[in-house]
Amino acid sequence: MKLKTLTFVVLASVAALTGCEDKTSVEWYTAHHDDMLKKYEECYISHTWEAEDCYHAKTALHREMNKPGVLTAYKAIVEKANKLRQLAPVADLN
């Protein structure tokens, strides 16, 4: 009886661990363009390229740049960021 219980626990643990998908890998972002673009925009606007998920989203974006819609979305992200930067107050250094 203990062997059956132990076998069940081991198999359940393996199934649970293999079911977890790393949602911040380059491969995951490559397969999920909407999430890649959302994360890239967040990182682009906040300049947080040091974060691993930002780096992976950026890498995936560059790999997928030739896919339909990605280049258009990238240009929209850059344009939105530029508009936000123009609206940001500039510090008076005098």
In a domain, 60, yes or no: yes
pLDDT in tens, the chain (94 residues): 576 665 545 555 544 444 455 678 999 999 999 999 999 999 999 988 899 999 999 999 999 999 989 999 999 999 999 998 888 777 777 7
Residues 75, 56: Cα–Cα separation, whole Å: 19
In a domain, 14, yes or no: no
In a domain, 45, yes or no: yes
In a domain, 7, yes or no: no
In a domain, 1, yes or no: no
Domain that holds residue 61: 26-87
Q: What is the pLDDT of residues 40-56, one digit of tens each?
A: 999 999 988 899 999 99
In a domain, 56, yes or no: yes
Domains of the chain: total: 1
In a domain, 5, yes or no: no
In a domain, 92, yes or no: no
Alpha helices in the chain (DSSP H): 2-18, 26-31, 33-46, 52-64, 70-87
